[in-house]
A and B are shown apart, each in its own frame.
Chain A
Amino acid sequence: MITTALTFDELAALMKQAAGVTVDARELEKAPDAPFATLGVDSLGLLGIVGELENRYGVALPTDAERCKTPAEFLGMVNSALKTGV
Chain B
Amino acid sequence: MSTERPRRAVVTGIGVIAPNGLRADAYWKSVREGLGVLDRITREGCQDLPLKVAGEVRGFDASALIEERFLVQTDRFSHYAMAAAQLALDDAGVARENPDEPFEIGVVTAAGSGGGEFGQRELQKLWGQGSKFVGPYQSIAWFYAASTGQISIRSGFKGPCGVVASDEAGGLDGIAHAARAVRRGTGAVIVGAAEAPLAPYSMVCQLGYPELSTVEDPDRAYRPFTAGACGFVPAEGGAMLVVEDESRARHRGAAVRAVVAGHGATFTGASRWEESREGLARAIRVALDEAECAPEEIDVVFADALGVPEADRAEALAIADALGAHAARVPVTAPKTGIGRAYCGAPVLDTAAAVLAMEHGVVPPTPNVFDICHDLDLVMSRARPAELRTALVLSRGLMGSNAALVVRRGDDTTR
Contacts and interface: CB of A to CB of B under 8 A. Distances in A.
Chains A and B belong together in one complex:
yes
B72 A40 contact: no
B70 A20 contact: yes
A20 B135 contact: no
Contact of B72 (A20, A47, A51, A54): A20
Contacts of A44: 73, 136-137, 139-140
A16 B133 CA distance: 17
Contacts, number: 37
Interface in A20-64: 20-22, 40-41, 44-45, 47-48, 51, 54-55
B135 A18 contact: yes
B94 interface: no
B72 A18 contact: yes
Contacts of A21: 68-69
Interface of A is mostly: helix
B71 interface: yes
A20 B69 contact: yes
A23 B137 CA distance: 20
B68 A51 contact: no
A19 B139 contact: no
Interface of A: 16, 18-22, 40-41, 44-45, 47-48, 51, 54-55
B92 to A, nearest CB: 27
20 contacts: A16-B68, A18-B135, A19-B69, A20-B67, A20-B68, A20-B71, A20-B73, A21-B68, A44-B137, A44-B140, A45-B69, A45-B73, A45-B136, A48-B135, A48-B137, A51-B132, A51-B136, A54-B132, A55-B132, A55-B133
Interface residues of B, number: 14
Contacts of B133: 51, 55
B412 to A, nearest CB: 39
A51 to B, nearest CB: 6
A68 to B, nearest CB: 15
Interface centre among B67, B69, B73, B137, by most A CB within 10 Å? B69
B145 to A, nearest CB: 15
Contacts of B135: 18, 48, 51
A19 B240 CA distance: 26
A17 B136 CA distance: 13
B69 A40 contact: yes
Given A48-B137, A54-B132, A55-B133, 20 more contacts: A16-B68, A18-B72, A18-B135, A19-B72, A19-B73, A20-B68, A20-B70, A20-B73, A21-B68, A21-B69, A40-B69, A44-B137, A44-B139, A45-B73, A47-B136, A48-B136, A51-B132, A51-B135, A51-B136, A55-B132
Nearest to A51: B132
